[in-house]
Amino acid sequence: MKAIVKNLSVLILGTALGILILTGFKNSNEIIVPPTTHTVIISQMKFNPENLKVKKGDKVVWINKDIVPHDVTEINKKWTSGPLKTGDKWSKTINGNFDYFCSIHVVMKGSVTIDKK
């Protein structure tokens, strides 16, 4: 009976230590994750994906694969990519949420949101 109690306490202590170590590693990993580059394809008069979730500091590249020019313009026109011809790319580092549209074809809309998870 004493042996069972002893084994049980070793098991519990071991599990607790394991959780601490794993949690520690997880946290240090989150700090050193490098920024990701996300791609939004402009095709058939649409931004794809339309609504993109990123981490703060990530980069987004828009690529125009349509046969007509498009642009990426902040919804209140705070900034714009300027016209992007077929095959043109434009990128931005993301530090806040925004909605955007194409000022040439105003029905084309998209958003970038920082996912705080």
Pick between residue 61 and residue 104 the one whose CB is nearest to Cu ion.
104
For Cu ion, the closer CB: 102 or 112: 102
Q: Is residue 105 within the footprint of Cu ion (CB under 5 A)?
A: yes
Q: Could you tell me the CA-to-CA distances from 16 to 8, 9, 10, 11, 70 in Å, in that order? A: 12, 11, 10, 9, 56
Q: Is residue 109 a contact point for Cu ion (CB under 5 A)?
A: no
DSSP string, 87-113: T-EEEEE-SS-EEEE-SSSTT-EEEEE
Per-residue mark of binding to Cu ion, 69-88 (x: CB under 5 A) = -x------------------
Count of positions on this chain that bind Cu ion (CB under 5 A): 5
Show the site string, 30-59: x = touches Cu ion by CB under 5 A, - = not. Answer: ------------------------------
Torsion angle, alpha carbons of 24, 26, 28, 30, to 10: -150
Residues near Cu ion (CB under 5 A) are 70, 102, 104-105, 108
